[in-house]
Structure 1
């Protein structure tokens, strides 16, 4: 395939992956199978036909409503599809080839974790473990950083947030981080290496500050115990860092 077509292929593949991820985010927290059973309307149970399952296009053609009952289709479904398409296109534009495909997988895993964290404050162990293992496996495609940096990144990411969480709880008497956050940072470390971890945490914190400011501007109260999905914030910070490593010369290893 010509190199200039690869980003387009990444967008198309991203739309397909995004449709699956949106279903996963919807069904998994309710212990429903992601792969078994036909897709149906969440309101009336109408089984969706092939023409109603085209990513993004079906949502637009149906004006965001179920053909059977007219109920509004959740906008976060199409948002996940569009985000996955954007990730696929950008990744394969930055690195047309195996490295770009690996980066797209990294971005799609981050997207799934971010969506679950925003909607349910949940970072599943199976998904954070998949993030970590795939990050280590990416080394065998001759993709930097070196394996040792990935291993150190996985361990340092997990231990650093675990220590911070325990210190916070011992001082404040309540949880400050979810149990999945250290595992997710460890998984990110397995992809980006240990040198990127401070930037991930700083970037996530800055994004969190912007989110808190936006809440205040919209009249939503923000207190010391307000829950921010830190896993989602780390995801927002981590994928641009992968792009910088890949297309911008990378970090010093």
Structure 2
């Protein structure tokens, strides 16, 4: 899949993505805290958790504000959550990675994908929750970006979204019938639909392979650390799906298949 644009050179697209990513990363930090708590996202202004002072523009400049304030509120000296700095820097690095592998406007699209995956990773890792308010935009953005690449890419994306959703819904129903309990969260199917929208139906097997390897790596690391993994222990499958989606989008399906 390719996106053609002549308005900016390749380095310009990468610079734009890297410039925007920290601000999006900061917003992701806000969403990751407010969505699980069912707090307003847009209506309520950001404030210091220590003294309640509303934060101004100079307090909210990504990365620079944290460095200038030495990670503390200018009023009460309370520490600023480092998750914001990590997300701002991390999203910028992911944007650079996308731009390096896919120079041009497609790299900017990759930065958008990365930011959505980061938010889903946080929500699933911390709350075992993949809300539709995040997974549905993942599907929609994948379909839109693919449509810009032409009719064939759009068709592959649409089939990928449908196949991703139906495959996990079917597996979940089969597990429930055989084991008498839920084995997959409802958000996993929507997230795999989003993956299919971004990588197409051809990329779905590779996405699931990478996700499985990521999950097995976590289990192996836990065993090496002396922490036994119980058979019924919950694992954040969305985190593994995010890794699989990202690697497949960057480097394509294994075996050299292309859309």
- TM-score by length of structure 1 reads 0.89
**Matched-pair contact (CA < 8 Å) for 1:124–1:180:** yes
Q: CA deviation at 1:181?
A: 0.1
Q: Counterpart of 1:251?
A: 257
CA shift in 2, pair 1:2/1:96, >3 Å? same
Mapping 1:137-216, distance limit 5 Å: 137-142=144-149, 146-216=153-223
How many angstroms apart in 1 are the aligned matches of 2:219 and 2:69?
35
Q: CA deviation at 1:143?
A: 6.1
SS of the equivalent of 1:166 reads helix
SS of the equivalent of 1:31 reads coil
Q: Counterpart of 1:3?
A: 10
1:156-188: CA deviation from partner (whole Å, max 9, x where unpaired): 111111111122222222221111001110111
Mapping 1:1-253, distance limit 5 Å: 1-142=8-149, 146-245=153-252, 251-253=257-259
SS of the equivalent of 1:30 reads coil
1:189-240: CA deviation from partner (whole Å, max 9, x where unpaired): 0111111111111111111121223333444442112211111111112112
- Structure 1 unmatched runs, 5+: none
How many angstroms apart in 1 are the aligned matches of 2:128 and 2:155?
31
How many angstroms apart in 2 are the aligned matches of 1:150 and 1:234?
17
Q: CA deviation at 1:139?
A: 2.4
**Matched-pair contact (CA < 8 Å) for 1:98–1:141:** no
How many angstroms apart in 2 are the aligned matches of 1:173 and 1:159?
20
How many angstroms apart in 2 are the aligned matches of 1:172 and 1:199?
27
Q: CA deviation at 1:2?
A: 4.1
1:73-130: CA deviation from partner (whole Å, max 9, x where unpaired): 3332222222211222222333333322222212221111111111211111122111
CA shift in 2, pair 1:44/1:219, >3 Å? farther
How many angstroms apart in 2 are the aligned matches of 1:147 and 1:100?
18
**Matched-pair contact (CA < 8 Å) for 2:28–2:87:** yes
How many angstroms apart in 1 are the aligned matches of 2:30 and 2:37?
11
Range with bigger deviation, 153-162 or 48-57:
48-57
CA shift in 2, pair 1:145/1:101, >3 Å? farther
Write out the 4+ residue segments of structure 1 that deviate beyond 6 Å after TM superposition.
none
CA shift in 2, pair 1:93/1:125, >3 Å? same
- TM-score by length of structure 2 reads 0.87
CA shift in 2, pair 1:104/1:82, >3 Å? same
CA shift in 2, pair 1:10/1:165, >3 Å? same
CA shift in 2, pair 1:218/1:74, >3 Å? farther
- Structure 2 unmatched runs, 5+: 1-7
